[in-house]
Amino acid sequence: MSLPGLKSSFTNADLNAMQVTGASGVNNFSNGVGQVRTDVGQVFLENTQIIPGNDPFPFQVTINEVEPGIFEYRVYTGTVNNVIPKIDGKALNDPTVAGLPEPSGEGDYRIAIKCYADAPPVRFPKTNTEMVMISPSESLLDTDSYGYIVVAILYLTAPGPNRTRSLQQMVSSSLWAERHKYTQPGTAWYYFYRV
């Protein structure tokens, strides 16, 4: 079986099932017909469906239609100082965790980690750190009790059958964080670094 139009990197012929080609041979692949499996710089073609080879990365947000017309936003597991954030009290690595529900309004929503803090010398962030959806009208200001890090921005048009959804991913790794607090109220500063 071959896939017409998909050329290997070293020949101009159609790429056949289980034919080995260089990694540059995937330049012509797109979602559709044929399945791609990579193995140390080689590409093997199997079956009849192309599946992108991108593994999810920490805090990657995806759009999921859980039932017709009902959408949620799944966040893949990541850590902040080895703390896994939660959604509705369930850690992101819990197989039963649901995604964040789709807002009913339109605009630019921020999907963020809300890192809770206590006065030092307590560990930062607290284990009740959570994923939140922040509406365009809500403030994203840090306080002495918590700090935010935006992992993605969700762009939604008006609800209805022609609603469009798009995501801009802001974070693509687990994070290290620091909290600096002075004695006066309202002086906490939060710093986030890629791990």
Quote the pLDDT of residue 195: 80
Question: What is the average per-residue pLDDT within 167-177?
Answer: 95
pLDDT digits (tens, 9 = 90+) for 131-163: 999 999 999 999 999 999 999 999 999 998 899
Higher pLDDT, 99 or 3: 99
Q: What is the DSSP string of 26-73?
A: GGG--SBSSEEEEETTEEEEETT-B-------TT-EEEEEEETTEEEE
Those residues whose C-beta lies under 8 Å from the C-beta of residue 39, and which sit 6 or more positions away, are none
Q: Answer whether 69's CB lies under 8 Å from 47's CB.
A: no
Q: Is 7's pLDDT higher than 50?
A: no
Percent of the residues in the chain that have a pLDDT greater than 90, as a whole number = 57
User: In which band, very low, low, confident or very high, does the pLDDT at 184 lie, cut at 50, 70 and 90?
Assistant: confident
Question: What is the average per-residue pLDDT within 101-117?
Answer: 96
User: In which band, very low, low, confident or very high, does the pLDDT at 3 lie, cut at 50, 70 and 90?
Assistant: very low
Distance CA 129, CA 115 (A): 5
pLDDT digits (tens, 9 = 90+) for 20-68: 444 444 444 444 444 444 434 444 444 334 444 567 999 999 999 999 9
Which DSSP category does 183 fall into?
A: S
Distance CA 109, CA 133 (A): 7
Quote the pLDDT of residue 70: 92
Indicate the pTM of the whole model. Answer: 0.71
Q: Is 16's pLDDT higher than 60?
A: no
Question: What is the average per-residue pLDDT within 77-97?
Answer: 96
User: In which band, very low, low, confident or very high, does the pLDDT at 98 lie, cut at 50, 70 and 90?
Assistant: very high
Quote the pLDDT of residue 161: 87
Q: Answer whether 93's CB lies under 8 Å from 85's CB.
A: no
